[in-house]
Structure 1
Amino acid sequence: MIYEKGKLETEGNYDVNASSKLLQTQNDFNQIFIENCDVEGDQKVIKIEAYKISVSKIILSTVLSIITGTVFALILRNSLRIRLKSIYNKSDIDQATHFLITNFDGSQDIVKRINSESKNSILFINRHMKYKYFDDGNKKAFYPVYYHQIEKQTLREINKIHCQGLSDHKVETHLKKYGNCQIQVPIPTLFEYLVDVLTKIFYIFQYISVLFWILEGFLQFAIVMICVSIVITLINYYLLRISMNKLKKFAKIDLKLRVIRNGEDQTINSVDLLPGDVFYYQNNMQLPCDSLLLSGDVLVNESSLTGESIPVPKVSIQQNEQQDEFFNIETMKNNVLFEGTRVIQIKGEQIYGIALRTGYASFRGSMFRAMLYPKAIEFYFYRNGIYFILVLICLAMIAYLIELYFVIQVKLPTVLIIYRIFDVLTWIIPPALPIFFSICQTISLLRLGKKQILATDPAKVVVAGDVSIMCFDKTGTLTNDSMEIYGYCDYLCNQIKQKLAFESEKEKLLHKFFGSCHGVYLVNGENLGDELDIRMLEFSQYKILPEESKEFKFKVQRQSDNSLLTIYKVWEFESSLQRMTVIMNDEQDQKMYGIVKGSPEKIFDMCNKNSIDQQNYKKMLNELTNKGLRVIAFGYKEINNKELLRNDVEQDIQFLGLFVLENKLKVDTSEVILRLQNGSIQCKVISGDNLLTTIQCAKEANILADEPSHILVCNQMSDCYIQSSLEKIQDPLKLIASQEVQKYSLGITGQFLEQILNNLENRTGQVEKQTLKNLLTNTTVFSRCKPKQKAEIIYLLQTILNEKVGMIGDGANDCSAIKQADIGISFTKTDASYSSPFSYSESSLECVIKVLAEGRCTLSNMIEVFKNYLTMNMLKFVGASILILELSHLSNFQITFQNYLQIVPFFLMLSLCRPLNDLTPYRQITNMMGIIFIFSQIGQQIFLLIFKGIENFFSVLGLIIISSGQILTSYFYLRSQSWYIQNTEIPSNDQFIQHGQALGIIFLSTTLAFDFILFSLYLSYPIKQRIYQNYILFAALTAIFIYMFFVYLLPEQSGQTFLDLDKETVSHKKFMAIQLIIALCFGFGMILYEDFIVKRYLGPCKKSPNTLKKTNSSMKQISKEQN
């Protein structure tokens, strides 16, 4: 039975939450649904299939696993599709023993049905979320298990029903249903980790390879291979435990709580808290669950969830105006305290609330689920790498078939012929490649940690290497958090004043509004709140009084004239509304006012137009915003009832004035932006601020060229003009769809973007896509964007422009955009560091350069490991093919030496290569099937094939060998010697001969070639530091070179015996010297080929078409830093 995504429907008496999305299909004439709701977060289930274990299939699979020596069992573990067909049968839901879950990201998991006391209960747990099957006859549905009963109660009913807390019976029931109140981060045991990792598909191939190596007599090599794999796996397990323990420590909340159960107070541990429990809040407590405030007011710090350290007020549901409204967590967040937030202040003694969601069902729990099960990143580097390996396998097998003719002629034993097939696959398929990739990523995370950047997702480091667009929030990111007061102007909007003046009654009133319409709170004698509000309060000369009462929110007083203002109601600022509202009473004048503070555009729309000098207003606003200043507008109306609803207060208000602040750029903002642009990174601003203010900020930050004639300002479709001339654009959509738009840099609002998208809804095909592409490519500033719009812009940049996009921000408004971006960076020293892949403990924008440079370096290291691995393995194949002419094979020690004293250490050292201090306009080509990459690889093989001189095996390369007629090879030179004796002994005992004159020469040639391969493939500038700056790798390479020189020239003193070199061959000094010269010539030939053909004329890196022209000074500075 399958349950899939369908349309939202309801039937019968089954209530469906408005925020839920239902998934449906038809089965046996019954509608079966999956109900998704916000408790799942992003980890939604989109499809469920019911399966039942088949006993007969289990027996058959067991037999096959025994016959194949557990190989079939390993295949079952790695292939979900084969496992489903081999073990399970599709089933009705009632008979199901397991469920196949398809998650939101397309990944699939098989989960076991949970047996409960109720025989009819159908339960399963997917990604730490429990789901239950509901069937009331009219509706059948799976839904996530959480305390949803409260959503069917009105606010009035909630206070009445829950005043006595939970009964003992409900405590027992809720414990079984919801579990303990804790987020348990699973840390695999060593055994579990080894079973999981060592049964991966690459390891399966490794086990088969080891088996054949043992059969071939390479016991020493096989043992070392297994030991190295286990050691690297143990290192990765150690690093994993460190990371998971940090996450577990962060998830843990353990404190004592006072709860009401059976109408009596009890003290329990927070782990024992259950949904439906009523508990008391305490100052400075960290909340262990999502809860609903039932009484009093509470001030909390939500920085652990949003990154913003400003206090957030929460009010009880008793203060809500609509008491008969059903509870909805989405629309009543001002009444909900979320898990992980910290209580700053409670007003009153008996402040209590009800636990709503605990563990992974909480909002914080959904964030942990997202971290534990991140969406798989589609990165073509990995896929193309597999394709390239498959191409090499085909080529190698063709070559083997050619070689097969010879081995049949000499009557090589059939067993050895079979061994050779697996040898070929072993050399071409890199079983340890994922391990080396993992090491590259892990070392990169450690390097970022030393730079005070906490990175939590290794895969994101690799993606950072391909980022081409970087988006910035404005306030707190490009600019400082702190603000300086620029001044204010009254309702006439004819001049800016820097000091308080009391020239008119309206101006006096405006000063009072500065002191009363804000979100500042007095906590332990300190003002806490948004920087803008704190500055405005200080400017007004009012001070918050420490008085507390249920009758009002707070009082402020000014010492100079004893002016006393009482604030009765506060509707906090909301980004979506772009305003906040308060009800204030002037105790001296005995007048009551409704005050609205917000963006100038919003207040202008709300105000009675007769109260505004519109010409002066627009002139003043343009003048201020063009200077990049932060402008806040005020409106008001006199009222006589403090119980008015918000909508009533905000209707027909009078304009009163503007408050202006200056938000200066951070010290290094302009410099960092220039360095990013020099690194071919497109920079864009996505902000919630005023458009003209954001444009000016972008100019000062060097994001936008300071040429007003080339800047198009688009507030909405009917308000689009060229900034310098104010020339209005009659049809913005037509301009954007044309090539002429490339002359401009656009600054647009979120509203304008919505209008464009709506206009394009009815269009299809290339017209719509090209118009959007033009808009996104040429828009540098996005302003007045709501949080969802920010995320949508990131998504459009990713999908329409097909680019990797980064986002950096510091506040709650940026969280969705940071999450949507390919890489997200945040500034915080608080617990919010876990909410983005990269978190910087300081405030400098230089962290962006550090992350991108590290990403480019890591990606380059991984590609080099890949290229080196395949090139060296192909060289092994070539060497072995030559030796097959001698009916021999490298010795046990020779194979061990090349792999574990040379190749593996080289790759580990390669991962230590560090990034440049700055970005260059080049990025690594990640398309492994690209012509440049293949050309580089083939070129390497051509040199090495000639170097080995294989005449029969590589006849297809005859033209290349002929064109290089003067080049001698080590093997041919050996055969030309008078003392050369070709081996004619047929191998016996199912093992190749491991001695002979050619054996040592091939070993020495390939060993020295490995050094030259790594040296020639090493890509330093413009991606990472030069090879000599990687001291360990450079020293190792130098040591190997020197040692190989001694082996060639002084073999008797340099390990002739343990290297298994033929005594007769190495005794000819002149011959060995010429062999060294041949190796050096071809080695330097590879280096010249890579440096002067591939890198110089074709280029292993791509230069972005968006590269900006660099000034001479900036180029000199970059060059100086690289050197």
Structure 2
Amino acid sequence: MAVVSGVKSHGHGEATGQRIKDSQDEQMHAYGYERSIAGTMATLLGCILSAGSLRLFFHWYPHLYLYATHRRCGLSRASKVLVVDDYQGKYKSYIVKEVKSVSTRCLSSDSSQASRYLRRAHKHLLDGLRGKDLELNLENGSRCLAPEYKAFWCKKQCYVWDDKASEFSKLASLDRYARCLDLHTEKVRGLSPERQLLSRMLYGFNEILVPVQGFQLLFLLEILNPFYVFQVFSLIVWFNEGYFYYAIAVILMSAFGIISSIRQTRANQTSLRNTVASTETVRVLRSSGEYESISSDELVPGDIIELPKHRAVVACDAVLLTGTCVVNESMLTGESVPVTKTPLQALPALYDSREHSHHTLFCGTTIIQTKQYGDKPVLAKVIRTGLWTTKGSLVAAILYPPPTDFKFDQDSYKLVAILIAVAFLGFFYTLAAMIQRGNTATNIAIKTLTVFTIVVPPALPSVMAVGKMYAIFRLKKRQIYCINTRAINISGSIDCVCFDKTGTLTEDGLDMMGVVVNEGNKLGEPEKEVPKLKDAHIFEGMLTCHSLTIIDQELSGDPLDVKIFESTGWELDEPELTDPAKLRRLLPLTYVRPAHESGHGDHPAGGMEIIQQYQFSSTLQRMSVIARRSDDPSGFVAYTKGSPEMILSLSCAESIPSDVSSTLRCFTEQGYRVIAMASKRIEVTDEQEKKLKTSSLEDLEFGIYAKNYKFALTGDTWQLLREHYDDILPRICTKGVVFARMSSDQKQQLVVELIQLGYHVAMCGDGANDCGALRAAHVGISLSEAESSVASPFTSRIPDITCVSKVIQQGRAALVTSFGIFKFTVCYSLTEFISTIILYSISSNFTGLQFFYVDVMLFVNFAFFFGKTEAYDKRLAREPPTSSLVSFTPLFSLTIHTIIIAVFELIVFYAVQQFDWFTPFTPKDEFLYDCLENYSVFCLSTFQYAIIAIVFSRGKPYRKPIYTNKLFILSIVVLTIVNAYITIYPAQWVVDLLELQMPPVYDWRFMIVGLAFVNFLVCIGFESFVVEYLIQQKIKPRFYKPEKSKKRYLLLEHELQDKPNWPPISSELPILPITPSYENIINSTRKASIAESTISMCIVNENEEQIPSISRSYVGVDNLGFHSEPGDVNRVD
């Protein structure tokens, strides 16, 4: 017995299964299968004998088809793999994938394998490739050379068989386990065409393929849906019974539903494909040392590419080797802020795309401009292509979001199952009764099968779309567009909303409020006229500590950097050096000088020179520069700018102002954004200047600090809690208000955690870095029309958060509508079922046109206008509407209404038989049903459909009152009048058309109308008084016990009510280290001072609340931890 990744196997020590993914939320296992000849033949025979029904069943459950036609085997011999995806132990899905082989041994110009990886222009290279080894780099750390490999693809990931480890391992990109030094190899010469093609046989073309299915395939998949298969069954039964009218109506409604679904699916697939598709022309360095222009989809990991000077889209993930590059990463961050990328240094440290993000160009981002001293090109090395890129991961997250189930959908299936059980009871009753009466076998078959088509309404999917259809139309009028109709009803249950803070809750603009200078270890008053501080150290820091650049003669960069620099009144110059001799000297990257002053030679008079920049790191919460004055070439100074708590943690204790905590609290509580700045003079000799380079910072230590009952925390703290204190994470999420500085993955983790607590979560964001969270949430609302709009069901053309309340309003109205229509449809089916069973007892039934009148004229009319009641447009109700169909209240309501309807129908059925003029029904023909019982039951039931339509059509607080729905009220009034006309005094042609046997006296006709009115009073009284008043408002609140709730967040809230001081302020968690980075200040150590002169603060009014991160430095700064914040809505930064 062997164990591979935790999965045991039997037999000859060969593993038959393994774990291929093991994360906190999701586990995926793969099991090997090989073809079974006997099983395949038996399955084929079964499909033939069942007229294809067995194959249809296997279409719904493909893993059962695999069980039937294959047998379990070792993974090394498997021709197919069954992937079992277990998400949180709640959702389990089965995916069947074929294991394919790729080899260089049998390449030929006409082979399908060659055509997959080679362009026509490369056919001449086949002979040189044949038998060559492929370089496999696997996720488990294996690196090997082999002329062939076998693999399967699942969720856009490639899993390659590793012979050494005897397991499937995910194919990794070039940067996996690579050192920064290794990525600098082949810097002068690129890949040869042969090596490029071999790499393509592993990674494929550099393209992100989004499948767009054809109309024929989509149509086939749609009609094979179980509900539509049942509709086909119903149509066959109806046509055999001669019931053509309603059958045609159902065909038309189903056709409309199928066409709408196909159009929506196709449009979504096409939109995503068009959004992510991008092809550029790039220049690639070849092994010969020459450059070749190729299409970007031919790039492979390892290629060396030349970056254009400006305005181009990055077509892959690459590390910058030479020069600098300014890019717009709004696709990733949602912020259109230029980011400067610097060359990756050839160090022996392992490359990490997060730690080295300032040296990495990401696919889909836009190059604004590149810079290189001299005439040398700006080069980058391709490390990831296609689906391995950051953009590819984003698309994969969109295509395969975390599964979310909606209780209304679950309960609707449960209720349909209950209806099927009721149908079986009717089936057996009808079967026994008709056999007893000696009916023919054909008639028995048709009548008994008709029971199923009555109890389980085939038109249910069509009428359930009514509420969603009206909601989509209303949202569209408000410039909110929906691409997933399923999300409409879910949005009605939203009880937790996460807002992306940056750019969503906040505006882009900000103003400089002032500068607070450290004067003798005490902070002074804010100085609003910044030029007055020109002799202070902080003024020099404001001039130099930034990553600004000049683009098209305009200052460009982070808006905060721009605002701080502009407040000084100085100007920025960027030198252009072409002299090779100068390139070897330590020369400034950028000059800053007073406005309207010109320099002489290389140095502007009285200016500052920025020698080295260390870009802002969210992990380190700061950026740094090394600068010097133009008139002091050896006077190097390090300036650092960042979050106050981080700058304080790096500073000498004696240099920290005594009133820093109170000052910081004063400004942050007023909503100002506070940036701290510090400096340190660096003494460098000429010899040291030549060897100047960065060194790594030793481990910084930080913990978490708690203050009040509502929490604000940063992404770093979230990661710490998730990795080491996951037991308190649910409580933090329950009481969390602001989650700041969160990465894309962390946003998605937060949303998933909230869903696990029982919340129905909506996410509102505007950037591609929100895509994971938008997709993971029950409802995603995008304020952008870029990638995030494809990831979210809703997109608002008006980029502000007012759309959230509109979506929730319409969602609640649609949910209440769907809830009401479902109850109405179930009650309609049961009413028709009761009528049919009652009449079957005397071998009668409704005639074809009677069924048509009930099904089309009444049911379809009421159902269609049911949803036209608009959403309640006043203040949102605190509690969302119920989404449970199988809870006590709706089931009790449905049951009692069904009993009331049955009682009244039984009354008229037996009461009519008591009159002297009554003549018993004698069946003469199997399709002649006219009798007095038929008339009585049919006429009363026509009123009952109007009654239940009124009863289940609710108004406030989620919809406007029913009388505002004029078309619905008009249809009720008109059809009620028509019902009374048919019951009391119909024209003869109406009598003949409906095949009615009218009673000879009018007393009974008026009595039926009177009984219908009493039926209405009983039903409306029961629903209004017993259900809505007694049960909903009186009994349920009295017996509600939060400690017994099934929702975890309610249990936690109840638990924390008894712990007002949780977490205790005095307690401290163990100190944990931050990952070391190479991007820190020169020759700094953990407690080294970088602030020998001053610590000062810039206060910026950003019209948003500045929430300090949850970090605690070892210098003992207080009040920088959890932030007290009122409100119940989560914000994600």
Residues 986-1043 of structure 1: CA deviation (Å, up to 9, x unaligned) = 65xxx55444343344334333322221221012211123334445544444443343
When structure 1 is superposed on structure 2, of 120-129 and 235-244 the one drifting more is 120-129
* Aligned-pair Cα RMSD in Å: 3.8
Residues 326-377 of structure 1: CA deviation (Å, up to 9, x unaligned) = 5443433222222211111121472232333333232212222222222221
- The question of 1:411 aligning with 2:435 is answered no
Match of 1:805 in 2: 761
Match of 2:995 in 1: 1061
Q: 1:689-838 maps to which residues of 2 (within 5 A)? A: 745=710, 777-778=734-735, 780=737, 794-800=751-757, 802-809=758-765, 821-828=777-784, 830-838=786-794
- The question of 1:594 aligning with 2:638 is answered yes
Structure 2 residue identity aligned to 1:141: E
Flag the 1:600–1:157 CA change in 2: closer, same or farther, 3 A: closer
Match of 1:966 in 2: none
Pick the aligned partner of 2:30 from 48, 60, 65.
Answer: 48
Match of 1:1019 in 2: 954
In structure 1, distance between residues paired with 2:878 and 2:849: 46
Contact 1:314/1:336 (8 A) holds in 2:
yes
Match of 2:822 in 1: 866
Match of 2:83 in 1: 101
Structure 2 residue identity aligned to 1:82: L
Alpha-carbon deviation of 1:314? 1.8
Pick the aligned partner of 2:478 from 451, 458, 461.
Answer: 451
Alpha-carbon deviation of 1:881? 0.9
Contact 1:51/1:90 (8 A) holds in 2:
yes
In structure 2, distance between residues paired with 1:488 and 1:980: 100
Match of 2:652 in 1: 608
Pick the aligned partner of 1:891 from 814, 837, 847.
Answer: 847
Residues 824-850 of structure 1: CA deviation (Å, up to 9, x unaligned) = 445435444334444434443312212
Structure 2 residue identity aligned to 1:196: L
Aligned length: 964
- The question of 1:975 aligning with 2:1019 is answered no
Q: 1:1088-1103 maps to which residues of 2 (within 5 A)? A: 1088-1099=1021-1032
Match of 1:509 in 2: 537
Contact 1:416/1:992 (8 A) holds in 2:
no
Name the SS of the counterpart of 1:924 in structure 2: coil
Q: 1:213-612 maps to which residues of 2 (within 5 A)? A: 213-263=238-288, 264-282=290-308, 283-317=310-344, 320=345, 322-348=346-372, 350-398=377-425, 406-437=433-464, 440-441=467-468, 444-445=471-472, 447-472=474-499, 474-492=501-519, 493-500=522-529, 508-548=536-576, 551-559=587-595, 563-590=606-633, 591-612=635-656
Match of 1:186 in 2: 211
Flag the 1:221–1:61 CA change in 2: closer, same or farther, 3 A: farther
When structure 1 is superposed on structure 2, of 473-482 and 854-863 the one drifting more is 473-482
Alpha-carbon deviation of 1:192? 0.7
Contact 1:303/1:830 (8 A) holds in 2:
no
Pick the aligned partner of 2:667 from 612, 615, 624.
Answer: 624
Name the SS of the counterpart of 2:547 in structure 1: coil
Alignment TM-score, normalising by the size of structure 2: 0.77
Pick the aligned partner of 2:905 from 939, 942, 948.
Answer: 948
Residues 1030-1089 of structure 1: CA deviation (Å, up to 9, x unaligned) = 45544444443343344334421784443x232x41775554343333323323432333
Structure 1 residue identity aligned to 2:73: S
In structure 2, distance between residues paired with 1:290 and 1:102: 31
Name the SS of the counterpart of 2:153 in structure 1: strand
Contact 2:21/2:27 (8 A) holds in 1:
no
Alpha-carbon deviation of 1:294? 2.9
Alignment TM-score, normalising by the size of structure 1: 0.78
Structure 2 residue identity aligned to 1:608: C
In structure 2, distance between residues paired with 1:437 and 1:2: 52
Structure 2 residue identity aligned to 1:514: M
In structure 1, distance between residues paired with 2:217 and 2:917: 59
Contact 1:594/1:649 (8 A) holds in 2:
no
Flag the 1:2–1:297 CA change in 2: closer, same or farther, 3 A: farther
When structure 1 is superposed on structure 2, of 996-1005 and 478-487 the one drifting more is 996-1005
In structure 1, distance between residues paired with 2:337 and 2:984: 73
Percent of aligned positions that are identical: 23
Flag the 1:36–1:406 CA change in 2: closer, same or farther, 3 A: closer
- Listed as ranges, the gaps of 5+ residues in structure 1 are 7-22, 653-714, 723-743, 762-767, 950-968, 1108-1123
When structure 1 is superposed on structure 2, of 105-114 and 26-35 the one drifting more is 26-35
Contact 1:922/1:1022 (8 A) holds in 2:
no
Match of 1:113 in 2: 99
Flag the 1:186–1:746 CA change in 2: closer, same or farther, 3 A: closer
Residues 571-618 of structure 1: CA deviation (Å, up to 9, x unaligned) = 22222221111112221344221111111111111101111222x222
Question: Larger RCO: Structure 1 or Structure 2 (Cα < 8 Å, ≥ 6 residues apart)?
Answer: 2
Residues 680-707 of structure 1: CA deviation (Å, up to 9, x unaligned) = xxxxxxxxxxxxxxxxxxxxxxxxxxxx
When structure 1 is superposed on structure 2, of 933-942 and 747-756 the one drifting more is 747-756
Residues 368-426 of structure 1: CA deviation (Å, up to 9, x unaligned) = 22222222212222223333333344445446656666545433445544444433333
Match of 2:883 in 1: 926
Alpha-carbon deviation of 1:463? 2.8
Flag the 1:818–1:241 CA change in 2: closer, same or farther, 3 A: closer
Name the SS of the counterpart of 1:121 in structure 2: strand
When structure 1 is superposed on structure 2, of 233-242 and 51-60 the one drifting more is 51-60
Match of 1:202 in 2: 227
Name the SS of the counterpart of 1:859 in structure 2: helix
Structure 2 residue identity aligned to 1:916: Y
Flag the 1:757–1:209 CA change in 2: closer, same or farther, 3 A: closer
In structure 2, distance between residues paired with 1:913 and 1:3: 61
When structure 1 is superposed on structure 2, of 349-358 and 114-123 the one drifting more is 114-123
In structure 1, distance between residues paired with 2:25 and 2:211: 17
Match of 1:840 in 2: 796
Contact 1:568/1:583 (8 A) holds in 2:
yes
Contact 2:835/2:937 (8 A) holds in 1:
yes
Flag the 1:172–1:816 CA change in 2: closer, same or farther, 3 A: closer
Contact 1:4/1:47 (8 A) holds in 2:
no
Contact 1:294/1:352 (8 A) holds in 2:
yes
In structure 2, distance between residues paired with 1:501 and 1:260: 49
Name the SS of the counterpart of 2:543 in structure 1: helix
In structure 2, distance between residues paired with 1:978 and 1:528: 97
Structure 2 residue identity aligned to 1:109: I
In structure 2, distance between residues paired with 1:461 and 1:97: 42
Pick the aligned partner of 1:164 from 179, 189, 194.
Answer: 189
Residues 730-788 of structure 1: CA deviation (Å, up to 9, x unaligned) = xxxxxxxxxxxxxx556667788889889977xxxxxx7xx777665555455677776
In structure 2, distance between residues paired with 1:755 and 1:330: 16
In structure 2, distance between residues paired with 1:623 and 1:203: 65
In structure 2, distance between residues paired with 1:324 and 1:794: 37
Flag the 1:548–1:756 CA change in 2: closer, same or farther, 3 A: same
In structure 2, distance between residues paired with 1:465 and 1:364: 32
Name the SS of the counterpart of 2:149 in structure 1: coil
Structure 2 residue identity aligned to 1:1011: A
Flag the 1:787–1:342 CA change in 2: closer, same or farther, 3 A: closer
Name the SS of the counterpart of 1:100 in structure 2: strand
In structure 2, distance between residues paired with 1:935 and 1:292: 65
Residues 218-252 of structure 1: CA deviation (Å, up to 9, x unaligned) = 34544443443233201211122222222221122
- Listed as ranges, the gaps of 5+ residues in structure 2 are 107-147, 578-582, 598-604, 1043-1049, 1054-1133
Alpha-carbon deviation of 1:191? 1.6
Name the SS of the counterpart of 2:918 in structure 1: coil
Alpha-carbon deviation of 1:538? 1.3
Contact 1:2/1:48 (8 A) holds in 2:
no
Structure 2 residue identity aligned to 1:276: G
Name the SS of the counterpart of 1:926 in structure 2: coil
Residues 856-909 of structure 1: CA deviation (Å, up to 9, x unaligned) = 223222222321221111111101012112312222333334334443454444
